[in-house]
Structure 1
């Protein structure tokens, strides 16, 4: 028989849930749907709201499981121990087994790529290993970074382990925000975001990277107490801050800023004037100022829900409403707005399909000349926009064509967009990051796949567009932790009950016998418009594929594979993991009579379709 164990029945090693967040940022420039840290925070807020109460008839009731959110609470820890004991009694303790030891060695391996971020003349990296559990922040020159990993001469900027010990606090690293006042101004100070114990709340402290030390409060250094805050530099001595000062209306019902203050160095934060506020029923309100390809932008926004926002823009000295659909994602490319649509937009006598990427000069937009809208991407039945990356003069789009990645290149020249063609990646994936978007067309390109560990390349957009990636030597690469030369990756399509074609990837040994004897794991994820694309997993390789197991990744609806219609089609009863079972059984990869197992889907807390 085909055995499915539901989430409620399945024993599992339980770890009390932390507030880890799944970011949904999709951006073509520095201005995101919500500026960091709020994009990911809103996800937690929306889910948190849903968890805190539920409706029965017309009455709202408290969630009886709210205590599970107290991750270090005695009741929560006791519950986790009870569930662990059930699992260990049934399956035995994994520690000490050969497989456990092998996987642990992989997870703790120092063979990691030290990804860097260029700021000024240096390339910064945050690194954690067995010797630096909480981590060290370090930097080097490009010449050093190009050396073999063990030969790089890193300069220590901050030791988080030493800081935690000295201050008696367990600090967890969050991404710092550097000052950026234009190409002629130094980037010598930043705001370090440090989380006590790994919570969403952060302590924000000004740090001088030249002196490699915090700027003391008594010397006028900016410090924001533990809170789910948002902050942006307006100038060297002025911050735009959303945080809890104790005043009424500071925070939303979701626990994020509702008001923004303009805080001048040396001033008490509670005395800083409020410059923008939104309803406390929103997820968050924020303000941001940044430099993008020669243009300063200052914006204000309300994240009404996870998928809807309203924007205001400082244009020609006046605050103006950005009159666009609330579910649209907004970013910038120099002096242009970029719009990614989640619904059809009828404007200026034209109709733009959901999932499209549009571009228009900010001056044209606010003058009402919307007929000048450029279409950089329009979805088809098989294509969707997965991501985008902008350099000084180029915009590179990552497009999924039936879940396989291809890149589309646009050059911005003399005020117009020029299409420079496409390059396909086959069964492999890639991630792109600009080295320094304001100044160059260089990219960090990371390539990976089901059987290919990550390789990092440093190259120009021109070379990537010219198809030179396959012939280039990677700057950094991960080792292959499992034997993959005999692993075959194939893509198939199942048909859902409503006739929709549902893609899935199958990983197995080459020449697998279709006799129903193959142990098979079926995995699916469909939620929050996140696509399930080819990804290297060493643990999956050593624990499953090397032993003849078959792995299937199902691109069930709810994800972003055919974004956004694919996600919206699955919001009710149209999940489709079960549709994958029929063709897999029919192919005789496995036989239900052989007691093979299927792993259930992760579907954003939606019950399994079985």
Structure 2
């Protein structure tokens, strides 16, 4: 990805192609581009924040985001419970701690250990929390990841978890795109921008060095080097289990989905015989957990794509032949959603026809044994916290109409108990959730959910909005959308989620079906779901809106250009839109494994057919889109959204464009920004679908 530093060093953007007069808007924070942004923002703010419904939407969204009776999701560190919390008094957030016993009470007594609002005020920066790396096994020290305004680039600062303060003279690593883990108390394994030639074309670090306490970065010793052609760079990873097994790994992201995995030994980095499309998921009693995205045959055992298997750590260390043991192999309607390692178990959350399930696996001499965990049905289930130091696990459960609940269990017994519940944020009385299937252009059945009033008229008159993602093997599952419920469903409107191909709802094959030049089927899936909704009378094109972000923003751009007659409103969030030049914008070069490359003639030809920016046509009756992004987005970049809006303006087509100056790719610098973006988007949908 192109960082601000790299852009400055590189100078002005490359010359504009003959058919692209808006390359100057790719100048990330250039004065001419920012003047254009300011003028566009003024017009859109006047329209959307001036809407009669905006103030109410904003107040409701802010109240939900800052409610003090939300569940404080736990982090288990050193026998205590930590939590990162935002509310009206702490819009950027505080990191706080309490005891395990006190956390179990209705009103835990929290002690603040880090106040980001106070830190930002003292240092004149807008610090955004990006997590913490904890030193194992002592769990007394942490590296705090701080982002200026929400960028992916972060600063790293050492923090004493017992004293509750930054370590004087401790590790303090300046801002970069960087990947880090602890080697030991006095050593960091760090991949970052080390200077000229140390970052990939997509802006990720590919050189790992050992940084010693008290030594400058210039004295760091190289541990491993990938290549500048790598798409994702190199990531250090330390894994431990409750039996004192410990190993350092390096994952080299040669492509977005293809890795080389190395074990770090005294003699250097040792390449492991693991499949390229696989990921390390934890360590349990000396067994390394490996999730696959392709078939893997080793030692006479074939592990299917989408499965979870294990191999002994000792076998990797000794170099002996690997005979993996399979924990879970999904059927065609299942996929693994998450894996967590505890002291004696592997906790696996799965999607079963887009419904959450949990399985607990125990290692034994004859393989792994499984036990189902009984939790509410028709919901999304996620592991919130687990640790290899004990078998305590926290799980969240949520559905479209079911507020999030938190469950605790001992992994060895697999008997969960609800410990916390979020109050309802909207009136769900009279609402129902239905799951249907639509036939896509090739006949494949595409599932989708729709939430609506039980007594609604099925005559197409109900305003509805639908979202999807359709890429990178990422699943869209039921969740408690409190703001959607309060600002949209309570008004008698409907909401739909489409489980289109490209995602991970049904495993790697569901994703692979729409990768690179096969991608048109993803867009066909989405349109097919919309048509199915219309055929059932659940809504109609005149009352139908769609939205999506990032890759989902590309999806919205394609739907806008390919099917303008199906939508009345299209919200395009932090999007990719210029698919001919996406590799040259921000982190675009890292996604060639998903989209293809213009350097390959067949793939270039396909990208030209789907690129929303390249396929806008003058004189077409498009709906009025709302295109929004953030200046601090150093992943996708605001350049796509800017150029798309500029082309619409050139053709005299109606549009709304907004670029928030903070927030990064997630648009979440603080709760006020989140509420503002939600309220503006909902004001847009209300104007277009309910009437001005």
Match of 2:133 among 177, 182, 205: 177
For 2:310 and 2:528, locate their aligned partners in 1 and report how far apart those are by CA, in whole Å. 38
Q: How far is 1:422 from its partner?
A: 5.8
Contact 2:326 2:368 in 1 (8 A): no
- C-alpha deviations, 1:528-554, integer Å up to 9, x for none? 211111111122222322232222211
Match of 1:579 among 528, 537, 541: 528
Structure-to-structure mapping, 1:429-578, within 5 angstroms: 429-435=380-386, 437-462=387-412, 465-466=414-415, 469=416, 472=417, 474-571=418-515, 572-575=519-522, 576-578=525-527
Q: Report what 2:73 is aligned to.
A: 115
For 1:598 and 1:89, locate their aligned partners in 2 and report how far apart those are by CA, in whole Å. 18
Contact 1:172 1:194 in 2 (8 A): yes
Match of 2:33 among 57, 75, 80: 75
For 1:589 and 1:446, locate their aligned partners in 2 and report how far apart those are by CA, in whole Å. 31
Q: Which 5+ residue runs of structure 1 have no aligned equivalent?
A: 1-18, 20-40, 46-51
Question: How has the CA–CA distance of structure 1 residues 308 and 73 changed in structure 2, closer, same or farther, with 3 Å as cutoff?
Answer: farther
Match of 1:230 among 179, 199, 207: 179
Contact 2:395 2:407 in 1 (8 A): yes
What SS does the corresponding residue of 2:189 show, helix, strand or coil?
A: strand
Structure 2 residue 317 is matched with structure 1 residue 373: no
Match of 1:102 among 50, 53, 60: 60
- C-alpha deviations, 1:129-187, integer Å up to 9, x for none? 222233222211122222223xx32222122222222233332222121211x3xxx33
What SS does the corresponding residue of 2:118 show, helix, strand or coil?
A: helix
The normalised TM-score by structure 2 is 0.71
Structure 2 residue 101 is matched with structure 1 residue 143: yes
Contact 2:430 2:455 in 1 (8 A): no
For 1:144 and 1:559, locate their aligned partners in 2 and report how far apart those are by CA, in whole Å. 40
For 2:184 and 2:456, locate their aligned partners in 1 and report how far apart those are by CA, in whole Å. 63
What SS does the corresponding residue of 2:529 show, helix, strand or coil?
A: helix
- C-alpha deviations, 1:227-256, integer Å up to 9, x for none? 22222222222222223344x543333333
What SS does the corresponding residue of 2:476 show, helix, strand or coil?
A: coil
Q: How far is 1:98 from its partner?
A: 3.6
For 1:197 and 1:590, locate their aligned partners in 2 and report how far apart those are by CA, in whole Å. 39
What SS does the corresponding residue of 1:599 show, helix, strand or coil?
A: strand
For 2:48 and 2:208, locate their aligned partners in 1 and report how far apart those are by CA, in whole Å. 53
Contact 1:54 1:61 in 2 (8 A): no
Which of 317-326 and 354-363 deviates more? Answer: 317-326
What SS does the corresponding residue of 2:545 show, helix, strand or coil?
A: coil
The normalised TM-score by structure 1 is 0.80
Q: Which 5+ residue runs of structure 2 have no aligned equivalent?
A: 7-12, 564-692
Contact 1:53 1:62 in 2 (8 A): no
Q: How far is 1:225 from its partner?
A: 1.7
For 2:484 and 2:125, locate their aligned partners in 1 and report how far apart those are by CA, in whole Å. 36
Q: How far is 1:300 from its partner?
A: 2.2
Contact 1:259 1:286 in 2 (8 A): no
Q: How far is 1:555 from its partner?
A: 0.9
Q: How far is 1:495 from its partner?
A: 1.1
What SS does the corresponding residue of 2:117 show, helix, strand or coil?
A: helix
For 1:286 and 1:462, locate their aligned partners in 2 and report how far apart those are by CA, in whole Å. 32
Match of 1:352 among 294, 303, 310: 303
Q: Report what 1:389 is aligned to.
A: 340
For 2:57 and 2:469, locate their aligned partners in 1 and report how far apart those are by CA, in whole Å. 26
Q: Report what 2:660 is aligned to.
A: none
For 2:465 and 2:96, locate their aligned partners in 1 and report how far apart those are by CA, in whole Å. 41
Structure-to-structure mapping, 1:119-518, within 5 angstroms: 119-149=77-107, 152-180=108-136, 182=137, 186-217=138-169, 221-246=170-195, 248-282=196-230, 283-293=232-242, 294-314=244-264, 319-334=269-284, 335-364=286-315, 372-414=323-365, 416-421=367-372, 423=374, 425-435=376-386, 437-462=387-412, 465-466=414-415, 469=416, 472=417, 474-518=418-462
For 2:495 and 2:27, locate their aligned partners in 1 and report how far apart those are by CA, in whole Å. 32
Q: CA RMSD in A?
A: 3.2
Q: How far is 1:365 from its partner?
A: 5.0
Higher relative contact order (CA 8 A, sep 6+): 2
Question: How has the CA–CA distance of structure 1 residues 598 and 287 changed in structure 2, closer, same or farther, with 3 Å as cutoff?
Answer: closer
Which of 324-333 and 61-70 deviates more? Answer: 61-70
For 1:91 and 1:225, locate their aligned partners in 2 and report how far apart those are by CA, in whole Å. 38
Q: Report what 1:599 is aligned to.
A: 546
Contact 1:364 1:372 in 2 (8 A): no
What SS does the corresponding residue of 2:369 show, helix, strand or coil?
A: strand
Greater share of helix? 2
Question: How has the CA–CA distance of structure 1 residues 91 and 170 changed in structure 2, closer, same or farther, with 3 Å as cutoff?
Answer: closer
Contact 1:176 1:193 in 2 (8 A): yes
Question: How has the CA–CA distance of structure 1 residues 538 and 420 changed in structure 2, closer, same or farther, with 3 Å as cutoff?
Answer: closer
Question: How has the CA–CA distance of structure 1 residues 96 and 586 changed in structure 2, closer, same or farther, with 3 Å as cutoff?
Answer: closer
